Chains A and B, each alone.
Chain A
Amino acid sequence: MKENGTELLRVEGLKQHFRSGSKMIRAVDDISFSIYHGETFGLVGESGCGKSTTGRTIIQLYQATRGRIYFNGEDLSKLRGKQRWRKFRRDVQMIYQDPYASLNPRNKIKEIIAEGIDVHGLAKNAKDRELQVAGLLETVGLNPEHAGRYPHELSGGQRQRIGIARALAVQPKFIICDEPISALDVSIQAQIVNLLKRLQQEKQLTYLFIAHDLSMVKYISHRIAVMYRGKIVELGLAKELYRYPLHPYTESLLSSIPYPDPDYERQRTRLHFQPQIQSEASQLLEVVPGHYVYCNPSEIALYQAKYERMASTSGSQPEPSLVY
């Protein structure tokens, strides 16, 4: 949403390198972006492109190799003091991909949800704690009686709801959703996406939504960044990015999505992406307002021409020409 909204999170020149034997793996290689209040920022790309690493570095599960992360205007690398870290950990929460692995099987649901409440001392007494848990369960569409159960007694969709309730328990401002729907069935995916959207409106939440399922990402996100090999190759408004994909990698990703339309599927052609050698001068540059592409400054005109061409013919795929 709104470029003009106030900034909640800013990532500047973030690098995250891992050592693997004698080799250096550049999981995240110099990326910068901002996320504004109340928006959903989608981060897509194939596995191993560094999207999850980005999320984990933001929540400080990893220490960034280089670069700065500002949350609410504060530089996280300069954040000192237990109280301020506690505040940060309360403001930023995470929902994980695998609802089977992210819930402790030996704890009851109420203990799982209330853990954050206890850590941050958000409940006045035992009664209040119980009420809060019941309220959270209801918020995510579960029955308060689920509080006494164990994770194995619930289905995948219900467990993911628990994961969401746990994140909401400490009243965060910003939630990192790391592939929250990838492990779920199509019909359940829709329920979870609707729930996330509703919660965002009710609680003015900001999401970083990490996923590889492009059709759902587009549906939930306001802006999307496409990652490839540790770099953001394209960033723009969700609708714009899908209609006018400029970077060849984005084009190839979009042309790979199958749609529930057999006639269209029979004629869909997949575009292959040939990774080119990027020159040193390449960076994320604004091609049209609000739409950034990773390229050489000399290529901007090329991409602008491409945008014009797409806008006049609307879309790179052969447009099905049927009218009723």
Chain B
Amino acid sequence: MTDNLLEINDLNISFQTFAGTVRAVRGVSLNLKKGETLALVGESGSGKSVICRSIMGLLPKNANINRGEILFHGDNLLTKSSRELQRIRGKKISMIFQNPMTSLNPTMTIGYQVAEPLLLHEKLHKSAARKKAIELLELVGIPDCKNRLNDYPHQFSGGQRQRIVTAIALACNPEILIADEPTTALDVTIQAQILELLKEVQTKVSTSIIFITHDLGVVANVADRVAVIYGGKIIEVGMVDEIFYNPQHPYTWGLLRSMPAMDAGDEELYAIPGSPPNLLTPPAGDLFAARNPYALTADVHAEPPMFQVSPTHFASTWLLDPRAPKIKVPEAIAIRHRYFRNRKQSTISSEGLKEGLR
């Protein structure tokens, strides 16, 4: 038993489709400590949602867990029966889904939907559950919630609906909250409110959060630790400062560079060339090699192992191998690396990158 609340070891998941077997998750190992926020970053189809659904036991029927374990308090969730999982799901581990328009039931009042986990898991009496539901809706900032318990989802705005979904997820004080792109469908101002809400709730009830997103700005805002996923594999993992100021993997570089800088001129925006890999027939070697301008010959032959950068920072790229040739890091990334070194020697105040470099 370690201090890890959740431990994923060598998880492999594949899907049976008409076209063949899709290897969606390939040997993912992760851990989550109490009270921390872990961000999973990657493109659509990289497997980040599949990992989270496997934790919740919500994989579709054609999914196959080939290998690996998911330890929650040292118990393997993958060997649990669906009855046992039902007692954990929604109580100890809960989830906020991407689209608040579709994750609420349009035919039930929100009062009932928020109270439902309390009735089922906490075995609360109806009136007590109702009272708790009002408290929860107050916590997530629904105005005048006492009088709105009997309203239906369509009577709320998108941001409010996402708050209601958050209230449901928080109803039983879960130990782990999985947020699957909770702000992608929302406006910036509403997004900021939801992020503030999650952070506030986290300090109040010390939940651990797994945050899935492809928006690096959001990651920088909420995460303590970041795992970058590409083609069903974790290619870089580290503390948030290490990923943003000392990134090692060319894919992480590409993601950081494709964000427009605050003071950008008219020069072309960097775009990662090509499209995500085909996991039906994955090519040999490193899956990112075909889109990687810094690919070495080694990448074509073998997938790189995880190289250690610091005690908390790992990256899977042959560039970190001692035999690898020195390459010229793109300027936008070199600036981040310099900032990281200076920051470490505390020769500068940690106020962020200069305007125009963000």
Could you tell me which A residues sit within 8 Å of B by CB distance? 46-48, 155-158, 185-191, 193-194, 197, 212-216, 218-219, 242, 252-253, 256-265, 267-268, 270, 273, 315, 318-324
When distances are taken between beta carbons in the complex, the residues of chain A under 8 Å from B354 are: 320, 322-323
Besides A186-B258, A322-B354, 15 new A-B residue pairs in contact (Cβ under 8 A), listed by A number:
A155-B276, A191-B271, A215-B262, A216-B260, A218-B264, A258-B215, A259-B220, A260-B220, A262-B241, A263-B351, A264-B351, A267-B351, A273-B189, A320-B354, A324-B335
Contact A219 B272 (CB under 8 A): no
- Tell me the nearest residue of chain B to A156, going by C-beta: B44
Contact A186 B220 (CB under 8 A): no
When distances are taken between beta carbons in the complex, the residues of chain B under 8 Å from A191 are: 271
Contact B220 A185 (CB under 8 A): no
Contact A190 B270 (CB under 8 A): yes
Contact A252 B349 (CB under 8 A): no
Partner among B191, B214, B245, B352 whose Cβ is within 8 Å of the Cβ of A186: B214
- Tell me the nearest residue of chain A to B258, going by C-beta: A190
When distances are taken between beta carbons in the complex, the residues of chain B under 8 Å from A324 are: 335, 338-339, 342
B68 within 8 A of A: no
When distances are taken between beta carbons in the complex, the residues of chain B under 8 Å from A219 are: 260, 264, 269
What are 19 of the A-B contact pairs (CB < 8 Å)?
A: A186-B216, A187-B271, A190-B270, A212-B187, A212-B188, A258-B215, A258-B220, A260-B217, A260-B219, A260-B256, A260-B358, A261-B220, A262-B245, A263-B351, A268-B221, A319-B355, A320-B352, A321-B349, A324-B335
Known: A215-B259, A259-B217. A47 touches B351 (CB 8 A): no
B190 within 8 A of A: yes
Contact A242 B258 (CB under 8 A): no
- Tell me the nearest residue of chain A to B218, going by C-beta: A258
Contact B352 A264 (CB under 8 A): yes
Could you tell me which B residues sit within 8 Å of A by CB distance? 43-44, 157-158, 187-192, 195-196, 214-221, 240-241, 244-245, 254-256, 258-260, 262, 264, 268-272, 275-276, 335, 338-339, 342-343, 348-355, 358
Distance A189 CA – B269 CA, assembled complex (angstroms): 10
Contact B351 A265 (CB under 8 A): no
Contact B355 A258 (CB under 8 A): no
Contact A185 B214 (CB under 8 A): yes
When distances are taken between beta carbons in the complex, the residues of chain A under 8 Å from B353 are: 261, 263-264, 320, 322
Known: A46-B187, A46-B189, A185-B43. A258 touches B352 (CB 8 A): no
Contact A157 B260 (CB under 8 A): no
* Most chain B CB within a 10 A radius of its CB, from A157, A258, A319: A258
Contact A265 B158 (CB under 8 A): no
When distances are taken between beta carbons in the complex, the residues of chain A under 8 Å from B158 are: 47
When distances are taken between beta carbons in the complex, the residues of chain B under 8 Å from A270 are: 192, 196
When distances are taken between beta carbons in the complex, the residues of chain B under 8 Å from A213 are: 188
B37 nearest CB across to chain A (Å): 12
Partner among A197, A253, A267 whose Cβ is within 8 Å of the Cβ of B352: A267
Contact B262 A242 (CB under 8 A): yes
Distance A188 CA – B244 CA, assembled complex (angstroms): 20
Contact B255 A187 (CB under 8 A): yes
Contact A194 B271 (CB under 8 A): yes
